[in-house]
Structure 1
């Protein structure tokens, strides 16, 4: 029998803070739908304005460029969902950057080039490749369907009437992309080097990989037997630390947005598509192998090297996010108490707080290995697994989460694995 969240688990939030929070101050990251104060822009760091949820593929391009060049920057997230709550000082569309000299600039690929010129030293536009990077980046325009909406939620899936495109059109896009990749001598669009061309394509191919298998059975862009070069590109992208650890959205979040009306789709999901979504979701909660966990940790260590404010592991970073946002999460969960009846999630504030602390402890311990206080944390995590509602809460958070809005895909996957135990 599960124990009371209050009596059985005594590790407090301040105790967890010692495991999860470093003394390094994180950069500014403001959700302007919640804090609409006019920014005081930095005179030393660029200030990125990107779409709030992580849905906008054009914002993702600039975000990815900054992250891949290990740039310290401030972020202001704007709600671009039509009638969404925008701050009074905002105008125009995302993405936009205010540079340290005060100049404001838009247009995604112009910004990617500017990031590379200011901070990348040719990392995204290697001089040795000449105009090939621009050529491959521009090939994106002639490959994706011209008669479809470049929607933020479901890009190039639906016509302007809201109807999905034919399967044959999606197959044409995948075959053309695979053919384009076959002309190079490496997994990326310009060979064996990650460049701005991959930045241009990544947001759209990322969404296709998650969403096309929902619309059509057996239509999988990552299928190496049908699209060997494209499958190799996806695998190579998953080895880019900034992309894999933070910017990439996860498959379950991209499936969820298919059920949302507006911005390219009608929000109606046929039963067959819904069944495919459920089946694909069930496959994602399995435990990692030791090799998979070690591979993720290597990427995380490389990503974290330039970001010492992050927690030591992807799972611990999920715990750090819970710690930083605990009041908002408590309020959001309690607001949905009627719908959560019978799910196992504690519906009183103290019980819910205890379950959340327990979940954070389990996540903080997952894969942490060693460290001065690890033995104490390991004991606390074993106790935490017995706390009432801990796995049910993980399931609720997994259902509510939007990646990469709330956290990176690796960290979200740690919560999903715990949700599967509910």
Structure 2
């Protein structure tokens, strides 16, 4: 890598309009038979489909609901968004204020309910690390989510869910039977106990100060055992609740109670196997819980709002510093998910390429020990060399080809371009996030594609 990225001049020469020639060292007789080898780079590169061809193959339907945000961060969103300003207005009945990355479990509750009730809404994205002053002025808690429902501001996820239930009655999520409704309210009130016990066990003391400690810190084996026991006690109560009614859901039939529990248990099901070796989704001691997870995954609305396991583990590690083991990739074959991933990469390719160049370490100044991949022309600000841009774009086109056809097309003939493409794919595999960028299934397929292509770069 160090010798492969020496200078801008060499990089630009290797990816130019002239055919690339694989030269041999005449001092080595064993290589004499390779002197006549010529690799026509331009013709080879054309064998990978163009962006227009890839977009057409993926189909416009794969972009349904997807929004490009040209001058805002993030550059795309899974649902319609408005500018992050105090005067943002919508003609839809709900204006939702949610976190920028769609990581917040309480925001997921609300988006899940909106999808199930088929309520039209727009979103304003709030950066949780730098909340606008106007948002803190209008929301006393300064937390997300908040929502304007038919013009009236409501905050706290449970209050928003209850208001949505009262205002939009076409698809009710609470039972009409009085006794079942009372049971629903009781069970929803216990949701924080299960989630809290689970996250304390996952974090092992990093999430919050333990009761007997002055400072948060790594838990001992005995403390972890106590945390696991406390979580399993809560989980056993959840399992018992699921066994009370016919049907896989908490009250038998799907409803608001399931929406309240889903985001926390979704995250625990992702985190626990990696952090604590505890398989929540298919644990033999909790068969009703396993059936609940399976039934939940069949809900189309849930598929729109859920995240994937790798995203959850990356977020948890980033926030709480818990050591993270590699999560297994799902198997290929999900055609719709692959088309979605390819379509969204193609539609947002300029922003994706710029992000990879800027943040992966590919772009470097002239004083960098690994060489220069920036250039300045006629006094203008430094910019990535055309060679670096072309190398990253080529790697992404191969990724899209793999997603759509199962084969990536020919490798790049230049080793330095392959090195740049490899770095971009490694970074992209960890950068992609669902549902911010694409659905959970598509995000999993995208990552699997990155890992598969990394085996085929040289």
Q: What range is the shorter-chain TM-score in?
A: 0.7 to 0.9
- Aligned partners of 1:24 and 1:257: how far apart in 2? 25
Aligned-partner Cα distance in 1 for 2:437–2:285: 34
Aligned residue in 1 for 2:60: 21
1:231 is the counterpart of 2:282: no
- Which residue does the alignment assign to 2:131? 86
| 8 A Cα contact 1:208 1:221, kept in partner | yes
The whole-number CA distance in structure 2 between the counterparts of 1:114 and 1:213 is: 36
Q: Equivalent residue for 1:159?
A: 208
Q: Distance in 1 between matches of 2:312 and 2:41?
A: 36
- Give the aligned partner of residue 316 of structure 2: 258
The answer to whether structure 1 residue 354 and structure 2 residue 408 are counterparts is no
Confirm or deny that 1:204 pairs with 2:264.
Answer: yes
Cα deviation, residue 120, structure 1:
5.0
Deviation at 1:239, TM superposition (A): 0.9
Please say which structure displays the higher CA radius of gyration.
2
Aligned twin of 2:185: 134
Match of 1:58 among 106, 111, 131: 106
Is the contact made by 1:224 and 1:232 (CA closer than 8 Å) also made in structure 2? Answer: no
Note the C-alpha offset of 1:58. Answer: 0.9
Count of aligned pairs: 358
Contact 1:318–1:412, Cα closer than 8 Å, also in 2:
yes
Q: Within 2, Cα distance between the matches of 1:250 and 1:23? A: 19
Counterpart in the other structure of 1:306 = none
> Whole-Å Cα distance in 2 between the matches of residues 142 and 253 of structure 1?
24
Whether the 8 Å contact between 1:65 and 1:112 is mirrored in structure 2 is yes
Q: TM-score, normalised by structure 2?
A: 0.68
Q: Find the counterpart in structure 2 of residue 104 from structure 1.
A: 153
> Partners in 1 of 2:344 and 2:204 — Cα distance?
28
Question: Structure 2 vs 1, CA of residues 188 and 157 (structure 1 numbering), >3 Å: closer, same or farther?
Answer: farther
| Partner secondary structure for residue 85 of structure 1 | coil
Structure 2 SS opposite 1:71? coil
| Contact 1:207–1:254 (8 Å) recurs in 2 | yes
Query: Aligned runs of 1:222-301 on 2, under 5 Å?
Result: 222-243=281-302, 245-261=303-319, 265=320, 267-269=321-323, 274=324, 277-278=325-326, 281=327, 283-288=328-333, 293=334
Going from structure 1 to structure 2, the CA distance change for 1:146 and 1:250 (only over 3 Å counts) comes to closer
Gaps of 5+ in 2: 1-21, 23-38, 75-82, 137-141, 210-214, 364-369, 371-385, 413-417
Looking at structure 1, the residues matched to 46 and 331 of structure 2 have their Cα atoms a distance apart, in angstroms, of 28
State the Cα distance separating 1:333 from its structure 2 match.
1.0
Two-structure CA RMSD over aligned residues (Å): 3.6
In the alignment, the residues of structure 2 paired with residue 149 and residue 167 of structure 1 have an alpha-carbon distance, to the nearest angstrom, of 9
> CA contact under 8 A between 2:360 and 2:427: conserved in structure 1?
no
Aligned-residue offset at 1:94:
0.8
Q: Could you tell me how far 1:113 is from its partner in structure 2? A: 2.5
Decide whether the 8 Å contact of 1:69 with 1:119 is kept in 2: yes
Equivalent residue for 2:241? 180
Q: Distance in 2 between matches of 1:147 and 1:357?
A: 41
Structure 1 residue 316 corresponds to structure 2 residue 356: no
* Contact 1:47/1:97 (<8 A) preserved: yes
CA shift for structure 1 position 63: 0.9
With the length of structure 1 as denominator, give the TM-score of the two structures.
0.73
